[in-house]
Amino acid sequence: MSNLFNMDNPFWRTMGKLVDVAWLNILWLVCSIPIVTIGPSTTALYYVMLKLVRDEDSHNTKSFFRSFKQNFKQGVIIWIIMAAVFFFFVMDIRAYRSFQNNIATVLSFLFIGLLIVYILVMNYVFPVLSKFDNTIRRTIQNAFIMSIRHIGWSLLMSVVFIGIMLVLIWIFPPLMILGYGLVAFINSFILAHIFDKYIPKEEEHENEDMFMTNREIEAQEEAERTGEAVKDPFAESVAILKGEESAQETESEDSEGAAGDENEEAQEGGSSEEEDETEPDAGEDEEEK
């Protein structure tokens, strides 16, 4: 019973996510009212949703408007381009289907196929803009490559969009408060999985760090961030060994020096005794002369 009121309970966490989705959907609708701002609004929506599905700590409203502001120019331009292309495809398909000949029928089916590819690309354009820093041309190009390379996931995201819209409109309209936010939330799980393949991993530690413990590695990284010097345990052990060797060398030198002094004193003592013994003999000889 106590777990029922625990905020970490899966039920309450899910409810919290749905509240976030509903609030972000409202922000998306309000910021999309001018129509021309649908691009940056959708970019901001996916920016927050990608953080939400990863359980990253982010202030939803603040993050939404920060992304909206940062990607406003590119988002507006990309939205105008994509809307113009969509309008072009729709008008061409209607025009070709109005003609009653085989060529027009073939061209209409060709443009329908291109329109499907275009819709798949649309699933990626604004999420890519929210995640990666690129030019407008590069963003559209990357969205196209991802949509073709991950064709299965692309189709699934389109099915999610169509399915949720049908449910919200025809089956349970009160859920319209979740609206496109729910589509973005579910598709963000797929997008996060795809984007992980294009984000470079952190560089591994160099070979000299291979024998360092995790605690030592963490200390080194922390010191690099703070600009402090890090004590290398391997270098310290080498220094200790060198210190012991130098101490042993000095002791051996001192012992050798002491032994040498003793030998010199012994030699000097022996020479003085010989001089003492020889000097009396010389005196006796002098006396005899």
pLDDT of residue 56: 80
Measure CA 31 to chain center.
Answer: 29
**Do 231 and 175 belong together in one domain?**
no
Q: Are residues 141 and 249 in the same domain?
A: no
Report pLDDT for 2. Answer: 55
Residues 176 and 230 in one domain: no
- Identify whether residues 217 and 101 lie together within a single domain: no
- Asked if residue 251 and residue 140 are part of one domain, the reply reads no
How many domains does the chain fold into? 2
Length of the chain: 289
Would you say residue 242 lies in a domain?
yes
**Do 189 and 223 fall into the same domain?**
no
Tens digits of per-residue pLDDT, 101-144? Answer: 888 888 888 989 999 999 999 999 999 999 998 999 999 999 99
**Average pLDDT of the segment spanning 8-35:** 86
Does residue 251 fall inside a structural domain?
Answer: yes
Q: Which domain holds residue 245?
A: 211-289
Task: Report yes or no on whether pTM surpasses 0.85.
Answer: no
The percent of the chain in helix, strand and coil, each rounded to the nearest 5, is: 85, 0, 15
The band of 153, judged by pLDDT with boundaries at 50, 70 and 90, is: very high
The 10 Å CB-count burial string (b at 16+, else e) for 22-35 is ebbbebbeebbeee
Mean pLDDT of 169-178: 81
Residue 29 located in a structural domain: yes
Are residues 152 and 263 part of one domain? no
Enumerate helices (H) and strands (E) in the chain, giving the number of each: 10, 0
Among residues 146, 165, 195, the one where a domain terminates is: 195
The two structure tokens encoding residue 81: 């381009």
Q: In angstroms, how far is CA 58 from the centroid of its own chain?
A: 16
Residue type at 205 in one-letter notation: H
Question: Are residues 154 and 249 located together in one domain of the fold?
Answer: no
Last residue of a domain, one of 195, 227, 248: 195
Contacts of 157 (CB under 8 A, 6+ apart): 123, 187, 190, 191
Query: Are 151 and 50 contained in the same domain?
Result: yes
Domain-terminating residue out of 166, 195, 224? 195
Residue 202 domain flag: no
Which pLDDT band holds residue 235 (cuts at 50, 70, 90)? very low
Identify which has the larger pLDDT, 203 or 152.
152
**Contacts of residue 47, Cβ cutoff 8 Å, sequence gap at least 6:** 63, 64, 67, 71, 130, 131
